[in-house]
Homo-oligomer: A and B are copies of this chain.
Amino acid sequence: MSTIAKKYGQVALINTFTVEPSNIDALVEELNEATEKVMSKRPGFVSANIHRSLDGRHVANYAQWNSKADFDAMLNDPASREHRDRLAKIASSVSPILYTVDAVHGGEASGA
Which residues of A pack against B, CB within 8 Å?
1-5, 11-12, 14, 16, 28, 32, 35-36, 39-40, 45-55, 58, 60, 62, 64, 68, 95, 97-112
Contacts and interface: CB of A to CB of B under 8 A. Distances in A.
Nearest to A99: B51
B5 A4 contact: no
Given A1-B3, A97-B60, A50 B106 contact: no
B49 A105 contact: yes
Contact of A106 (B40, B105, B108): B40
A90 to B, nearest CB: 15
Contact of A3 (B11, B12, B102, B108): B108
